[in-house]
Structure 1
Amino acid sequence: MLKRLNPSFWGYIASKILRNRIGLLVFIAIFTVFMASQWKYIKFTNTEANLLPANEKANIEYNAFLDKFGEEGNLIVIGIQDSLIFSPKIYASWEKLMTQLKQNKEVDLVISLDNLKKLQKNDSLSTFELTSLINPAKVSDANYLKEKKEELIHQMPFYEGLLYNKSGIIRSAIYLDKKIVNTPERKNLVLKKIIPAIESFEKETKVDLHVSGMPYIRSLNSEYIISEISLFIGAALGITSLIFFFFFRSFRTTLISICIVIVGVMWSFGFLGLLRYEITVLTALVPTLMIVIGIPNCIFLTNKYHQECRIHGNQAKALVRVITKVGTPTLITNLTTSFGFATFIVTNNVLLEEFGIVTSINIIALFLLCLFVIPVAYSYMSIPKERHLDHLEKSYSVSFLNWIQKTIKNKRTIVYTVAFSLLALGFYGTFKMRVSGSLIEDMPKKAAFFDDIVFFEKEFDGVMPIEIMIDTKRKKGVMKLTTLKRMDELQETIDSIPELSQPISIVNLVKYSKQAYYNNNPEYYSLPTTQEQAFILSYAKNSVKDSKENVMKSYVDSTGQYARITTFIKDEGINNIDAIQSKLQQKINEVFPKEKYEVSITGKALVFQKGTKYLLDNLVESLILSIFITALLIAFMFRSIKMIVVALIPNLLPLLMTAGIMGYFDIPLKPSTILVFGIAFGLSVDDTIRFLAEYRQELGRTNWKIKKSVFATLQESGLSMFYTSVVLFSGFSVFMLSSFGGTIALGGLVSITLLFGMLSNLVLLPSLVLTLNKKLANQQEFLEPTFNILSDEKIGNEENLNDKEE
C-alpha cells in the first residue's frame, strides 16, 4: 500500500532540511568525496556491444564459433597503390614498416609483399614448401620488382581478395594475437605502436596509406567516444548555464545551480565506478544527462522560491513553501523520469541494463541533491532583490503565457485540428520507417579511418566478417574431397552475391596446392579430381601445420573436424542480411546433408543485425511498460480512468510525430535512435505530471472549478514548464555536436520530441481538460485525493513555527 504523500509529510521534510543545514552540507561533501574515490574503478569497454542475450540461438552459435576458432575480428589491413610499392625506394620503406610491426609481441602474423610465400612441391618429402616470392637481395632492381608484380597478379590467384585486387591495390594483413583483441593491450598496440609506425612511413615516403580492420576501427572509435564525453559535459554545462542566467539574471543563483549539477556529474562517474560498470557508448552519455535533467530541477525549485518571495517577501515562508508546495510534483516527475530509464532494465541486454540502472539511480540522487541544497543555499543568502524577480513578469514570458491562455480559451477547435493533422502525418510517416543494423553507420564520417573503411569497401568488398562454421562430425573430416567440394560449391554461391567479398577457407589452400603440384600453373587453380586427390591431398595435409607462417592455420581446427569459411559484407548489404542469410542457408541445406554435417552462419555483422531487431522488439516493450507506469501514477494521483487518457494523449502525439519525421527523412531505427522514444517520453511526461499535480491542488483551492483551476495552474507552473523545456531542448541539442551519426540523431530527435511535448502539454493538455470538464468534474472521483492540499492556514502555522526557530 503506497503511503500518501500529504502536506504534513513535506512539512516534516522541510523542517528537517532547514533545521539541519550544516549536517546536510557536511553529509553531501563526505558523500561526494566517497563518490570521487570510486573513479579509479572506471574503465572504458574493450569489447563490442552484444545486443543479444546469452541464450539466443545466434549468440550460442557465435560463441561456439569463438570456442573453436577464437576471436575473428583480429585482422588489420594496410593498403597501398601497387604502382607505388613496386618501386625500390618505397618498397624498402614498406619492408622496414612491416618488420617493425612484426616485432610487436601482440602481433601474431604479418602477411605482406616482403614476406609473401608461394608453394613449391617437394617430391622427396611428399609435401609443399613455402618459399619467398621476393628475393631481398634483388629488391633494389626496379625491373625485378616489376616481374614479381606480374607474377603475383597473374600467377597467384590464391592471394586475390586477400592481399591484392585487379584494380591495382596491394595490402598487408596483420593478424593480432586473439587473446589481446578484447583487452586494453589492443588499443595500446594500435594507438602507440601501429599508428606511429604508419605515420613515420607516410612522412618518410610522402605516400598516404589506407588502414582498416575491426581492431583498428574499434580503437579509434573508442578514442572519439572518450574525447566527446568532455565535449558534451562542457557544452551542456555552458548552454544550460547561459539559459539559466538569461531567465533569472542572477550570478549567485546560476552559480548554485552549476555547483549542484557539477556535483551530480561527479556522482554519476562515482556510481559507474561503484557498480564497476564500464564506459560504453551509452553510459558515456550519463554525466551529460545529469546536467540536462538537473538544471530543470533547479529551475523549478528556484522559480517557485522567486514566486513566493514576490508574493509575500518572507524568506522563511518562501523556503518552506518551495518544499511543501512543489515537493510532490518534483518527486513524481523525477520518479517518472527514473522509471522511464529503468524500463531499459527489462530488455535483457547488458548494455541497456547498465545504462538503465545507473541513469535511474543518478536521477533520484540528483533530485535529493537539488531538494536539499537549493533551500539550504538560499537560506544563507539574502532575499532576492527586485531585479532578480523581474523575470516573472518579463514581456516575453507574460506574452507567451497570455497567448497560451487565449488559445486554449478561444481556439480549442484549431488546437484539435492541428493536433489531429499532426497525428495523421506522424502515423503515415511511421510506415516509411526502416530498420538498420549497420556497424559503421553511426561512426564519425569526418574521421580519416571512416574514409579508409569506404576505401576497403570499394576495393575489397567490405571489412565486416561473416563466418560459416562446418562441423563434419568426425575427426579429419575437413580434408575429405567430398567435404572440400561441398565447401567449394558454397563458396561459389558466396562469390555470386554482390554484397559479399571473395571467400577464404582451406579450399583456397587445396586449390593452390594443386596449382603448385603442376609447377604453379594458374590454370590448375582448382580442387583435385578423384584421381588426383590421393597424392595432392596428402601433400596439402602435410602442409597444414600450426606454424606462424601458415595463413590457413585459423581455418581448420586442430582435430580437422571443424572448418570455417570467412567472407566480408559491404555495409550497404547489412540491411539485406536476412535475404543473404536465407540464400546461403538454402545452399547449405542443398549441399550439406544434416545427418553428416552441422553448418552455422555467424559473425559480428550477423549478430549485430539480429541484435538490432531484438533490441527494437524489447525497447517497444519497455516503452509500453513506461507508459503503463505513467498511467499508474496518474491513476494514483487522480483515481480516474478519464484523466489517464487525458494525460497520455499529449505525450503520445510527440512520439508519433518523431516517428513520422524519421520516416519522412529516412532516419532509420537502430540502437541509437530506438532509445529516443523511451528517453523522450520519460522527460516529456514530466511536464504532464507537473501540470496535473498542480492542477490537482488548484481544484481543492477553487472548490472544484475546472476552468479557474486550469488557468491558475498555467499561471503557477506554465513559466517553469516553459523554462525547463527550453533547457531540455537545448541540453539535448549538444549531442548534435558529436561526430557519431547515432548520437547526432539521438540529440536531434529527442530535442524535437521535447519541443512538441512542451507545446502539447502547455496547449493540448489544458484544452482537453477544459473540453472534458463536465466529465472530469465528478467530485466523487476525487474524494479523499492521494495528494491532500496544504491549506493556507496550515501553511501559515508551519511557517510561523519556522519563523520562531529562525
Structure 2
Amino acid sequence: MAFLYKIRLLLLALTGVACVVLWPGVQAALVVDNNLSAWFLTDDPALAAYRDFQGRFGNDEVVVVVVKDDRTVLTPGYFAGLRALSAELAGLPEVAQVLGAGTTELPGRGGLLGAEAPRALLPPGATAGTVRAALGELPTLRGQLFSPDYRATRLLVVLRQLPDFDNRRGAILGRVRAVVYRHFAPGQALLGGVGVVFAGLNELSQHDFGLFLGVGYLLMFTIFLVIYRNFYLLLYTLGIVGLATYLTLGVYGALGHRINLLTVLLPIVIILLGFLDSMHVVNERNLLPTAATDTPRASALQALRNVFQPCLFTMTTTAAGFLALLTSPMAILRDFGLFAALGIALCLGLTFLLGVTILPLTRPVPRATRATGGAVLRLYELVLRHRRAFAALAVGLMLALLAGLPRLHSDTYTLGYLPDDYVVVTDHRAMEAAWGPYMPLELLVQPRPGLTLDSSRVLRAAVAFADSVQTMPGAGAGFGFQSLYLAALEPRFGPKARRALHSQGVVRAVHAQLRASYPALARQYVHEPSQTGRITVAGPMLSARQLTARMATVLGIARATLGPVARVTPAGYQPMYARITAYVTTSQTNSLLTSFGLVFLLTWAFIRNFRLAVLAVVPNLFPVLVLLGVMGWAGIALDAATASIAAIVLSLCTDDSIHFIHAYQQGRLRGELPAVARRATVAHIGPTVVLTSVILFLGYAVMLLASLKTVQLFGALTAVAIVGALFGELVIFPLVLERFDRRARL
C-alpha cells in the first residue's frame, strides 16, 4: 500500500486520461438500443435465418396503422385523409412502400386477364357506395383493407432495409407517427408492430436509465452521508462507483455496444459491488485498535492492507459469477456478464487507488460502525440462545421456498414490459378491438422438386392452408402469395375464383400479369430466384411460450395441407422471439451451476479448507432460493431481465461470506477459541453486512417507481434477495458454522 500511495498521483492522471479518451464511448453507450443484434449472437442460426429472410423479402419491420371511427370510415373526408396520408408516408425516404386503401389500384373489369387498365380504389369523388360495390367483387382484398363493419381501415407502412436501421429506428418511427398524427388524431389513428414495441422499450429504457441511476445514487449516498456524516468518505464511495460506471460504459460504447433492456442495469450492479468494497474498507478502518491515536494516513493504509486479500478474492469470485453468463446462448446476457465483471474489477482497483488518495485526508468515524456492531452482537447472542427456534425458522422458510420452485417457469412477453397506460400498449389494445389480431407470423413455402410457386397444386394447397389457419382461435386474416392469385381472379370469376386455380393455363397467365402490373407487390410475397413464397398469418401478440405453441399448431396444419407439395418453415422475427424462452431457461441453469462451481472452487482456493468452503456455500444458496421461490409463488417468469438476478445475488452473498470466513480464519490462526473467533467475526464483519444491506435495499426498492417493468422487477426481486442474504449471513451462517465446523468442538 505504501508503494501505491507513492504513485497515486500518476495513476490518478492516467485515470483522468482514460476518462477523456473514453468520453465518446460513454456517449455512444448511452444511446439505448434493444434491436435483435443485442439479443442474439452473430452466428446464431435463428439470426442467420432471419437475415436470409430479409435478404429475400426486404425489411419485415412493418408499421401497422389502423384508422378507426365509431360509425364508418367510408366517407369522403376519410378517403381524402387516407390518400393524403399514404402519399406523405410514401414520400419519407425511409419508407419503401405503403399498402392501404389510399394506394390500392383495382384490376380492370375482367381482372388481370381483362383489357382495362387498373383504377384507384379511392379516386377523388369516390363515395361509400362505389367503394362498397368495388370491394364486393374482391373479398380477399377487402379483408386486407377494411374491417368487416367498415369501421376501421388498415395501412401497412413497409420500411426500407437500411444498413443502420436499428440505430435509426426510433427517429424513423417518430417521423412516421408525426405524419400519421398530422392527418388523424391520436386515438383515431393507432400504430402497432414489432418495431413500435422496440422503440417504446428504447424510450422507456433510456428514461429509466437516467432517472433511476440518478435517484438510486442520490438515495444511497444520502443514506451513507447520514450514517457516517463525513464528506470525504462520501467522496470516496461516490468516486469508486462513479468512475467505475463511467469507465465501464466508456469501454462498452467504444466496442460498439449500446445500452439495452438488460445492460441498462450495469450501473446498478456496479453501485452494489462498489459499495460493498468501500464499506468493508471504511468499517475496517473504524475498527482498528489504534484508530483513535494513529495518523490518518497510517490508519488508512493499514485498513486497506487488511482488506486487500479478501477484497481481491471477492472480486475474483464475483467476477467469475458474472462471467458464468458467457455460457449463455444469448448475446444480451453475455454482454451483461462480461461488462459487469469489468465494472467489478474496476471497483476493486478504484477502491484502493482512491483509498490511498482520499482516506488519509480524514480521520476514522467509528461511531456508526461500533453502534451497529453492538446491535449485531446482540442479535447473534439471541440466535445462539434460541438456536433451535431459529434453525426451525430457517428450515421452514427453505421448505416454503422450495415449494415455490415447481411453479417457476420461463417466458418472455415483450409488450408486458411496458406500463399499461403507455401509448404503445393502449394503441395495441385498441387495434385488436377495432381490427382484430394483427401481429404477423411469417412462413416460407418452397415447392418440392418438379413444382413451382405458380403450380396449380401448390396454390390450391396454400389456399387450403390459409383457410384452415383462420379457424384457429384468435387467428386473424392471413395473406400470402396465393392471395395475389385469388385477388386477381375474383373480378372475373367471382365466387368461382378458387375453381379457376385448377387451370394451370389461367394461373400462368395471372402470374405473368402480376409481374408486369404489380411488380413491387409481387416481390413482397414471391422470391423468384429461390422459388420461395411468403405467407403472413395474423395473430394476437403472445408471450414467447405461447408463440412456440402457436407455431407448432400452425406448422402441424402446414404439414397436413402443404406438406405433400411444399416445405414450410417459420421465418421473420417471431421464431426468434419464441426461441428466447429456451435460451433463458438454458442460460439460467447453466450460468447458475457454473457460478456455484466457480465460486466454490475459488473460495476453497482462498481459504484452503474444504469444510469451511462447503459451509460458506450454504448462506449463498439461501438468498438464491429466496429469489427463485418468491418468483415461483408470485408467478414471475424467468426472462431476459430476471435470469441475471441469481448471478448478482450470488455475487453479493459471496462477497460477505469470504470476508466473514477470512476474519474467522484470522482469529483462529491467532489462537482464539472457535466461539471467541465467531463472536469477534460477527462484531467485525456484521456492521458492514448490515449497513450495506440497508443502503442497497433502499436503493433497489426505489426502482419499484420505474415505468419499465423489467426495472421494477429487478429492483423488487433484488431487494427481496438482499433481505434473504442478510438472514443467511447473520443467522444461517453462524448456526451452520457452529454446528458443523469440527474445530469448534476442540
Q: Does 1:361 align with 2:336?
A: no
Residues 159 and 679 (structure 1), Cα distance of their counterparts in 2 relative to 1, 3 Å cut: farther
Alignment of 1:346-745 (within 5 A): 346-379=327-360, 381-384=361-364, 388-394=365-371, 397=372, 400-473=375-448, 477-518=452-493, 521=494, 523-524=495-496, 526=498, 528-530=500-502, 532-535=503-506, 537-545=507-515, 550-559=520-529, 561-572=531-542, 574-593=544-563, 597-701=566-670, 703-745=671-713
Residues 403 and 458 (structure 1), Cα distance of their counterparts in 2 relative to 1, 3 Å cut: farther
Residues 475 and 369 (structure 1), Cα distance of their counterparts in 2 relative to 1, 3 Å cut: farther
1:130-159 CA-to-partner distances (Å, cap 9, x unmatched) read: 3211221x15xxxx2x31453477543223
How far apart are 1:306 and its partner, in Å?
2.4
Greater shift after overlay, 92-101 or 625-634?
92-101
Greater shift after overlay, 124-133 or 241-250?
124-133
How far apart are 1:513 and its partner, in Å?
2.1
Greater shift after overlay, 497-506 or 126-135?
126-135
Alignment match, 1:298: 278
Alignment match, 1:791: none
Distance in 2 between residues matched to 1:162 and 1:123, nearest whole Å: 18
1:403-447 CA-to-partner distances (Å, cap 9, x unmatched) read: 421233212212221111111111111111222232322234331
Give the SS at the match of 1:173: strand
How far apart are 1:679 and its partner, in Å?
1.7
1:615-652 CA-to-partner distances (Å, cap 9, x unmatched) read: 31133111111101111122113333322331112121
The TM-score normalised by the length of structure 1 is 0.86
* Contact 1:654–1:753 (CA under 8 A) maintained in structure 2: yes
Distance in 1 between residues matched to 2:72 and 2:560, nearest whole Å: 46
The counterpart of 2:309, out of the listed 328, 335, 353, is 328
How far apart are 1:401 and its partner, in Å?
0.9
The counterpart of 1:70, out of the listed 41, 47, 58, is 58
Alignment match, 1:216: 196
* Contact 2:458–2:566 (CA under 8 A) maintained in structure 1: no
1:147-206 CA-to-partner distances (Å, cap 9, x unmatched) read: 145347754322355322225221222111133683434332222x22222333346xx8
* Contact 2:310–2:658 (CA under 8 A) maintained in structure 1: yes
Distance in 2 between residues matched to 1:708 and 1:124, nearest whole Å: 95
Q: Does 1:748 align with 2:731?
A: no
Alignment match, 1:45: 33
Unaligned runs of 5+ in 1: 1-13, 779-806
Distance in 2 between residues matched to 1:649 and 1:423, nearest whole Å: 12
How far apart are 1:554 and its partner, in Å?
0.9
Alignment match, 1:164: 146
How far apart are 1:54 and its partner, in Å?
5.8
How far apart are 1:756 and its partner, in Å?
0.5
Give the SS at the match of 1:710: helix
* Percent of residue pairs identical: 18
1:489-537 CA-to-partner distances (Å, cap 9, x unmatched) read: 221232122243221102222222221113xx4x34535253x4423x2
The counterpart of 2:238, out of the listed 258, 280, 284, is 258
* Contact 1:127–1:539 (CA under 8 A) maintained in structure 2: no
Aligned amino acid, residue 368 of structure 1: G
Q: Does 1:280 align with 2:260?
A: yes
Distance in 1 between residues matched to 2:730 and 2:41, nearest whole Å: 41
Distance in 2 between residues matched to 1:609 and 1:123, nearest whole Å: 40
* Contact 2:619–2:653 (CA under 8 A) maintained in structure 1: no
Give the SS at the match of 2:470: helix
Aligned amino acid, residue 505 of structure 2: A
Give the length in aligned residue pairs. Answer: 743
Give the SS at the match of 1:79: strand
Distance in 2 between residues matched to 1:647 and 1:678, nearest whole Å: 16
Alignment match, 1:3: none
Alignment match, 2:6: 19
Distance in 1 between residues matched to 2:221 and 2:159, nearest whole Å: 47
What's the RMSD between the two structures over aligned residues?
Answer: 2.8
Distance in 2 between residues matched to 1:312 and 1:434, nearest whole Å: 55
Residues 106 and 124 (structure 1), Cα distance of their counterparts in 2 relative to 1, 3 Å cut: closer
How far apart are 1:273 and its partner, in Å?
2.5
How far apart are 1:549 and its partner, in Å?
7.5
Distance in 1 between residues matched to 2:487 and 2:404, nearest whole Å: 54
How far apart are 1:55 and its partner, in Å?
6.0
* Contact 1:737–1:744 (CA under 8 A) maintained in structure 2: yes
* Contact 1:38–1:273 (CA under 8 A) maintained in structure 2: yes
* Contact 1:181–1:215 (CA under 8 A) maintained in structure 2: no
Give the SS at the match of 1:162: helix
Distance in 2 between residues matched to 1:681 and 1:547, nearest whole Å: 63
Give the SS at the match of 2:210: helix
Give the SS at the match of 1:564: strand
* Contact 1:76–1:216 (CA under 8 A) maintained in structure 2: no
Q: Which runs of 4+ in 1 moved over 6 A?
A: 546-549
* Contact 2:32–2:203 (CA under 8 A) maintained in structure 1: no
* Contact 1:107–1:175 (CA under 8 A) maintained in structure 2: yes
Alignment match, 2:318: 337
How far apart are 1:60 and its partner, in Å?
5.0
1:262-293 CA-to-partner distances (Å, cap 9, x unmatched) read: 22222122111332223222222223332332
The counterpart of 2:80, out of the listed 84, 92, 97, is 92
Greater shift after overlay, 433-442 or 708-717?
433-442
* Contact 1:329–1:694 (CA under 8 A) maintained in structure 2: no
Residues 148 and 113 (structure 1), Cα distance of their counterparts in 2 relative to 1, 3 Å cut: farther
How far apart are 1:710 and its partner, in Å?
0.8
Q: Does 1:182 align with 2:165?
A: yes
How far apart are 1:716 and its partner, in Å?
0.7
Unaligned runs of 5+ in 2: none
The counterpart of 1:131, out of the listed 119, 123, 126, is 119
* Contact 1:161–1:460 (CA under 8 A) maintained in structure 2: no
Residues 313 and 35 (structure 1), Cα distance of their counterparts in 2 relative to 1, 3 Å cut: farther
Distance in 2 between residues matched to 1:752 and 1:390, nearest whole Å: 28
Residues 128 and 180 (structure 1), Cα distance of their counterparts in 2 relative to 1, 3 Å cut: farther
* Contact 2:25–2:251 (CA under 8 A) maintained in structure 1: yes
Distance in 2 between residues matched to 1:542 and 1:438, nearest whole Å: 43
Distance in 1 between residues matched to 2:11 and 2:577, nearest whole Å: 47
Residues 371 and 605 (structure 1), Cα distance of their counterparts in 2 relative to 1, 3 Å cut: same
Aligned amino acid, residue 482 of structure 1: R
Give the SS at the match of 2:417: coil
How far apart are 1:585 and its partner, in Å?
2.9
Alignment match, 1:271: 251
Alignment match, 2:177: 195
How far apart are 1:58 and its partner, in Å?
4.4
Residues 184 and 622 (structure 1), Cα distance of their counterparts in 2 relative to 1, 3 Å cut: closer
* Contact 1:310–1:389 (CA under 8 A) maintained in structure 2: no
Q: Does 1:308 align with 2:288?
A: yes
Distance in 1 between residues matched to 2:133 and 2:386, nearest whole Å: 82
Greater shift after overlay, 400-409 or 663-672?
400-409
Aligned amino acid, residue 609 of structure 2: S
